[in-house]
Amino acid sequence: MQVPAPFDYARAESVEDALTLLQRHGPESRVIAGGHSLLPMMKLRLARPEWLIDINDLFELDYLVEDGDVLRVGALTRHATLLGSDLIAGKLPIVTDAERVIADPVVRNRGTIGGSLCQADPAEDLSTVCEVLRAQVVIRSLDGERVVSMEELHRGPYETAVEQDELLTEIRFPIRPRTGSAYEKVERRVGDWAVAAAGASVTLADDGTIADVAIGLTSVGLDGRTATRAEDALRNAPPSEEAFTAAAELAKQDCDPVADQRGPVDYKRHLAAELTKRVLRRAVERAR
Protein backbone atom coordinates (compact mmCIF):
# COMPACT_ATOMS: atom_id res chain seq x y z
CA MET A 1 0.00 0.00 0.00
CA GLN A 2 1.40 3.38 -1.01
CA VAL A 3 0.62 6.11 1.49
CA PRO A 4 2.40 9.43 1.98
CA ALA A 5 4.58 10.02 5.04
CA PRO A 6 2.80 11.90 7.85
CA PHE A 7 2.15 15.63 7.46
CA ASP A 8 -0.19 18.28 8.80
CA TYR A 9 -3.04 19.66 6.74
CA ALA A 10 -4.66 23.08 6.52
CA ARG A 11 -7.30 24.30 4.13
CA ALA A 12 -6.88 27.85 2.86
CA GLU A 13 -9.95 30.06 2.57
CA SER A 14 -8.49 32.76 0.34
CA VAL A 15 -5.30 33.62 -1.52
CA GLU A 16 -4.22 35.82 1.41
CA ASP A 17 -4.92 32.98 3.80
CA ALA A 18 -2.92 30.49 1.70
CA LEU A 19 0.05 32.87 1.58
CA THR A 20 -0.15 33.47 5.33
CA LEU A 21 -0.26 29.72 6.01
CA LEU A 22 2.73 29.12 3.73
CA GLN A 23 4.69 31.75 5.59
CA ARG A 24 3.60 30.57 9.04
CA HIS A 25 4.45 26.91 8.43
CA GLY A 26 7.73 27.67 6.72
CA PRO A 27 9.98 25.93 4.21
CA GLU A 28 8.48 22.44 4.60
CA SER A 29 4.96 23.59 3.73
CA ARG A 30 3.57 23.23 0.24
CA VAL A 31 0.30 23.90 -1.52
CA ILE A 32 -1.78 21.10 -2.96
CA ALA A 33 -4.09 21.80 -5.91
CA GLY A 34 -5.39 18.77 -7.84
CA GLY A 35 -2.80 16.64 -6.08
CA HIS A 36 -2.34 14.47 -9.16
CA SER A 37 1.38 15.12 -9.36
CA LEU A 38 2.14 15.89 -5.72
CA LEU A 39 0.39 12.91 -4.07
CA PRO A 40 2.04 10.33 -6.34
CA MET A 41 5.41 11.94 -5.53
CA MET A 42 4.62 11.89 -1.80
CA LYS A 43 3.67 8.20 -1.98
CA LEU A 44 7.09 7.51 -3.47
CA ARG A 45 8.82 9.82 -0.93
CA LEU A 46 10.06 11.97 -3.81
CA ALA A 47 8.37 14.79 -1.92
CA ARG A 48 7.99 14.96 1.86
CA PRO A 49 6.28 18.18 2.89
CA GLU A 50 5.48 18.59 6.58
CA TRP A 51 2.46 20.75 5.88
CA LEU A 52 0.00 20.67 3.00
CA ILE A 53 -1.98 23.82 2.33
CA ASP A 54 -5.09 22.81 0.37
CA ILE A 55 -6.10 25.51 -2.13
CA ASN A 56 -9.10 23.71 -3.62
CA ASP A 57 -11.56 26.09 -1.93
CA LEU A 58 -10.02 29.14 -3.67
CA PHE A 59 -12.79 29.47 -6.26
CA GLU A 60 -11.42 32.95 -6.96
CA LEU A 61 -8.56 31.19 -8.79
CA ASP A 62 -10.90 29.19 -11.05
CA TYR A 63 -11.84 31.36 -14.03
CA LEU A 64 -11.41 31.99 -17.75
CA VAL A 65 -11.94 35.56 -18.94
CA GLU A 66 -11.29 37.43 -22.12
CA ASP A 67 -9.87 40.82 -21.24
CA GLY A 68 -9.10 42.85 -24.38
CA ASP A 69 -6.30 41.04 -26.19
CA VAL A 70 -5.47 38.82 -23.24
CA LEU A 71 -7.15 35.63 -22.07
CA ARG A 72 -6.72 35.32 -18.33
CA VAL A 73 -6.91 31.88 -16.75
CA GLY A 74 -6.95 31.28 -12.99
CA ALA A 75 -4.31 28.85 -11.69
CA LEU A 76 -6.91 26.53 -10.17
CA THR A 77 -8.74 26.02 -13.47
CA ARG A 78 -9.06 22.25 -14.03
CA HIS A 79 -7.97 20.44 -17.18
CA ALA A 80 -11.63 19.42 -17.72
CA THR A 81 -12.76 23.07 -17.66
CA LEU A 82 -10.12 24.07 -20.20
CA LEU A 83 -11.12 21.17 -22.45
CA GLY A 84 -14.81 22.06 -22.23
CA SER A 85 -14.41 25.80 -22.89
CA ASP A 86 -15.73 27.20 -26.19
CA LEU A 87 -13.80 30.40 -25.53
CA ILE A 88 -10.53 28.44 -25.37
CA ALA A 89 -11.43 26.29 -28.39
CA GLY A 90 -12.16 29.45 -30.40
CA LYS A 91 -9.18 31.57 -29.39
CA LEU A 92 -6.48 29.09 -28.39
CA PRO A 93 -7.22 25.76 -30.11
CA ILE A 94 -3.75 24.45 -29.17
CA VAL A 95 -4.97 24.27 -25.56
CA THR A 96 -8.00 22.20 -26.55
CA ASP A 97 -5.81 19.93 -28.72
CA ALA A 98 -3.48 19.35 -25.76
CA GLU A 99 -6.16 18.90 -23.13
CA ARG A 100 -7.78 16.16 -25.17
CA VAL A 101 -4.62 14.06 -24.70
CA ILE A 102 -3.53 15.06 -21.19
CA ALA A 103 -4.00 12.14 -18.82
CA ASP A 104 -7.55 10.73 -18.91
CA PRO A 105 -10.99 12.27 -18.26
CA VAL A 106 -11.02 11.33 -14.55
CA VAL A 107 -7.56 12.76 -13.88
CA ARG A 108 -8.58 15.87 -15.85
CA ASN A 109 -11.39 16.47 -13.35
CA ARG A 110 -8.76 17.18 -10.69
CA GLY A 111 -5.51 18.36 -12.28
CA THR A 112 -5.09 22.13 -12.66
CA ILE A 113 -3.17 24.36 -15.03
CA GLY A 114 -1.34 25.98 -12.10
CA GLY A 115 -0.28 22.60 -10.75
CA SER A 116 0.92 21.52 -14.18
CA LEU A 117 3.12 24.60 -14.61
CA CYS A 118 4.46 24.47 -11.05
CA GLN A 119 5.25 20.77 -11.35
CA ALA A 120 7.51 21.68 -14.31
CA ASP A 121 7.84 18.07 -15.41
CA PRO A 122 9.68 18.10 -18.77
CA ALA A 123 6.91 15.86 -20.15
CA GLU A 124 4.10 18.22 -19.09
CA ASP A 125 2.03 19.13 -22.13
CA LEU A 126 0.72 22.47 -20.88
CA SER A 127 4.24 23.79 -20.32
CA THR A 128 4.97 23.44 -24.04
CA VAL A 129 1.59 24.98 -24.87
CA CYS A 130 2.24 28.00 -22.64
CA GLU A 131 5.73 28.45 -24.09
CA VAL A 132 4.37 28.36 -27.64
CA LEU A 133 1.67 30.88 -26.79
CA ARG A 134 4.23 33.09 -25.03
CA ALA A 135 2.08 33.12 -21.94
CA GLN A 136 2.96 35.12 -18.87
CA VAL A 137 2.21 34.02 -15.35
CA VAL A 138 1.31 36.00 -12.27
CA ILE A 139 3.05 35.06 -9.01
CA ARG A 140 1.73 36.40 -5.72
CA SER A 141 3.36 36.71 -2.33
CA LEU A 142 2.31 38.60 0.77
CA ASP A 143 4.47 41.47 -0.52
CA GLY A 144 2.69 41.79 -3.84
CA GLU A 145 2.58 40.46 -7.33
CA ARG A 146 5.01 39.93 -10.20
CA VAL A 147 4.49 38.88 -13.78
CA VAL A 148 7.05 36.59 -15.41
CA SER A 149 7.47 34.91 -18.79
CA MET A 150 7.50 31.13 -19.20
CA GLU A 151 11.26 31.28 -19.72
CA GLU A 152 11.67 32.94 -16.36
CA LEU A 153 9.16 30.61 -14.70
CA HIS A 154 10.84 27.37 -15.68
CA ARG A 155 14.34 27.22 -14.28
CA GLY A 156 14.83 23.56 -15.08
CA PRO A 157 13.11 20.22 -14.63
CA TYR A 158 10.87 20.39 -11.52
CA GLU A 159 12.23 23.83 -10.69
CA THR A 160 10.35 27.11 -11.03
CA ALA A 161 10.59 30.75 -10.07
CA VAL A 162 7.64 30.32 -7.68
CA GLU A 163 9.22 30.55 -4.22
CA GLN A 164 8.06 28.39 -1.34
CA ASP A 165 5.92 31.19 0.16
CA GLU A 166 4.40 32.24 -3.15
CA LEU A 167 1.42 31.19 -5.25
CA LEU A 168 1.01 31.10 -8.97
CA THR A 169 -2.35 32.78 -9.42
CA GLU A 170 -2.94 33.45 -13.10
CA ILE A 171 -1.80 32.56 -16.60
CA ARG A 172 -2.13 35.28 -19.26
CA PHE A 173 -2.40 34.27 -22.91
CA PRO A 174 -2.01 36.97 -25.56
CA ILE A 175 -4.73 36.75 -28.22
CA ARG A 176 -3.45 37.81 -31.60
CA PRO A 177 -5.37 38.34 -34.83
CA ARG A 178 -4.71 36.11 -37.87
CA THR A 179 -3.16 33.54 -35.59
CA GLY A 180 -3.71 29.79 -35.48
CA SER A 181 -2.27 27.15 -33.18
CA ALA A 182 -2.20 23.38 -32.83
CA TYR A 183 -0.80 20.54 -30.69
CA GLU A 184 -0.24 16.90 -31.46
CA LYS A 185 1.09 14.13 -29.27
CA VAL A 186 2.04 10.51 -29.73
CA GLU A 187 1.38 8.37 -26.66
CA ARG A 188 1.63 4.64 -26.08
CA ARG A 189 -1.88 4.43 -24.64
CA VAL A 190 -4.60 6.75 -23.38
CA GLY A 191 -3.53 8.72 -20.33
CA ASP A 192 0.18 8.19 -20.79
CA TRP A 193 2.80 10.88 -21.01
CA ALA A 194 4.05 11.83 -24.46
CA VAL A 195 6.57 9.74 -26.37
CA ALA A 196 6.90 13.07 -28.17
CA ALA A 197 4.59 15.99 -28.86
CA ALA A 198 4.74 19.26 -30.76
CA GLY A 199 2.89 22.54 -30.60
CA ALA A 200 2.93 25.54 -32.91
CA SER A 201 1.39 28.96 -33.15
CA VAL A 202 1.50 30.86 -36.45
CA THR A 203 0.57 34.48 -37.15
CA LEU A 204 0.05 35.41 -40.80
CA ALA A 205 0.78 38.83 -42.31
CA ASP A 206 -1.76 40.52 -44.61
CA ASP A 207 0.11 39.18 -47.64
CA GLY A 208 -0.24 35.63 -46.34
CA THR A 209 3.40 35.14 -45.33
CA ILE A 210 4.35 34.01 -41.84
CA ALA A 211 4.72 37.12 -39.67
CA ASP A 212 5.51 35.22 -36.49
CA VAL A 213 5.75 31.63 -35.36
CA ALA A 214 6.53 29.64 -32.22
CA ILE A 215 7.30 25.92 -32.15
CA GLY A 216 7.60 23.86 -28.97
CA LEU A 217 8.34 20.18 -28.39
CA THR A 218 7.50 17.97 -25.41
CA SER A 219 9.58 15.09 -24.02
CA VAL A 220 12.42 15.41 -26.51
CA GLY A 221 14.93 17.41 -24.50
CA LEU A 222 13.99 20.92 -25.50
CA ASP A 223 12.99 21.88 -21.95
CA GLY A 224 11.95 25.45 -21.49
CA ARG A 225 12.96 26.49 -24.99
CA THR A 226 11.18 26.73 -28.28
CA ALA A 227 12.75 25.52 -31.51
CA THR A 228 14.27 28.90 -32.37
CA ARG A 229 16.18 27.93 -35.51
CA ALA A 230 13.05 26.42 -37.02
CA GLU A 231 11.10 29.54 -36.07
CA ASP A 232 13.70 31.85 -37.63
CA ALA A 233 13.64 29.84 -40.85
CA LEU A 234 9.88 30.28 -41.18
CA ARG A 235 9.55 33.94 -40.27
CA ASN A 236 8.66 36.09 -43.33
CA ALA A 237 8.43 32.97 -45.52
CA PRO A 238 5.28 31.95 -47.33
CA PRO A 239 3.74 28.90 -45.64
CA SER A 240 4.49 25.87 -47.83
CA GLU A 241 5.20 22.16 -47.46
CA GLU A 242 8.86 22.78 -48.36
CA ALA A 243 9.18 25.46 -45.67
CA PHE A 244 7.51 23.20 -43.07
CA THR A 245 9.79 20.28 -43.98
CA ALA A 246 12.91 22.44 -43.69
CA ALA A 247 11.76 23.84 -40.33
CA ALA A 248 10.87 20.35 -39.07
CA GLU A 249 14.39 19.19 -39.99
CA LEU A 250 15.88 22.02 -37.88
CA ALA A 251 13.59 21.20 -34.94
CA LYS A 252 14.65 17.57 -35.22
CA GLN A 253 18.34 18.53 -35.11
CA ASP A 254 17.88 20.86 -32.14
CA CYS A 255 16.06 18.46 -29.87
CA ASP A 256 17.98 16.12 -27.62
CA PRO A 257 15.83 13.15 -26.66
CA VAL A 258 16.91 10.30 -24.41
CA ALA A 259 16.06 6.66 -24.96
CA ASP A 260 13.66 5.26 -22.38
CA GLN A 261 10.77 2.81 -22.09
CA ARG A 262 8.77 5.09 -24.39
CA GLY A 263 11.14 4.68 -27.29
CA PRO A 264 14.64 4.99 -28.77
CA VAL A 265 16.28 8.28 -29.74
CA ASP A 266 15.89 7.96 -33.54
CA TYR A 267 12.17 7.25 -33.20
CA LYS A 268 11.67 10.32 -30.99
CA ARG A 269 13.63 12.49 -33.41
CA HIS A 270 11.53 11.19 -36.26
CA LEU A 271 8.39 12.07 -34.31
CA ALA A 272 9.75 15.55 -33.52
CA ALA A 273 10.06 16.29 -37.24
CA GLU A 274 6.78 14.68 -38.29
CA LEU A 275 4.72 16.25 -35.51
CA THR A 276 6.29 19.67 -36.16
CA LYS A 277 5.17 19.47 -39.78
CA ARG A 278 1.65 18.43 -38.83
CA VAL A 279 1.11 21.18 -36.25
CA LEU A 280 2.52 23.82 -38.61
CA ARG A 281 0.04 22.76 -41.31
CA ARG A 282 -2.87 22.81 -38.91
CA ALA A 283 -1.87 26.09 -37.26
CA VAL A 284 -1.65 27.81 -40.67
CA GLU A 285 -5.07 26.44 -41.70
CA ARG A 286 -6.54 27.79 -38.49
CA ALA A 287 -4.88 31.19 -38.94
CA ARG A 288 -6.53 31.69 -42.32
Partner 1 sequence: MQITMTVNGTEVTAEAEPRTLLVHFVRDTLKLTGTHWGCDTSNCGTCVLLMDGEPVKSCTVLAAMAAGREIRTVEGLAQNGELDVVQKGFMAEHGLQCGFCTPGMMMSARALLDRNPDPSETEIRTAISGQICRCTGYATIVRSIRWAAAQ
Ligand X SMILES: Cc1cc2nc3c(=O)[nH]c(=O)nc-3n(C[C@H](O)[C@H](O)[C@H](O)COP(=O)(O)OP(=O)(O)OC[C@H]3O[C@@H](n4cnc5c(N)ncnc54)[C@H](O)[C@@H]3O)c2cc1C
Query: Which parts of this chain interact with partner 1 (CB under 8 A)?
Result: 1-9, 11, 32, 35-36, 39-40, 43, 52, 54, 56, 80, 103-107, 109-110, 190-191
Nearer to partner 1, 36 or 91 (CB): 36
User: For residue 175, which of 67, 63, 28 has the smallest C-alpha distance?
Assistant: 67
148 binds ligand X (CB under 6 A): no
Nearer to partner 1, 17 or 54 (CB): 54
| Alpha-carbon distances, residue 86 vs 77, 226, 279 (angstroms) | 15, 27, 21
Query: Among 35, 174, 221, 263, which residue sits at the site for ligand X (rule: CB under 6 A)?
Result: 35
Query: Among 119, 201, 203, 276, which residue sits at the site for ligand X (rule: CB under 6 A)?
Result: 119
User: For residue 146, which of 159, 160, 133 has the smallest C-alpha distance?
Assistant: 160
CB of 255 to ligand X, least distance (A): 18
| Alpha-carbon distances, residue 197 vs 98, 110, 115, 245 (angstroms) | 9, 23, 20, 17
Nearer to partner 1, 40 or 156 (CB): 40
Contact present, 95 and 54 (Cβ < 8 Å): no
CB of 101 to ligand X, least distance (A): 7
Name residues whose C-beta falls within 8 Å of residue 115's C-beta, 6 or more positions apart in sequence: 33, 34, 35, 36, 37, 38, 75
Contact present, 249 and 203 (Cβ < 8 Å): no
Contact present, 23 and 30 (Cβ < 8 Å): no
- Segment contacting ligand X by CB under 6 A, of 63-71, 114-122, 240-248, 256-264: 114-122
31 binds ligand X (CB under 6 A): yes
- Segment contacting ligand X by CB under 6 A, of 24-32, 220-228, 251-259, 271-279: 24-32
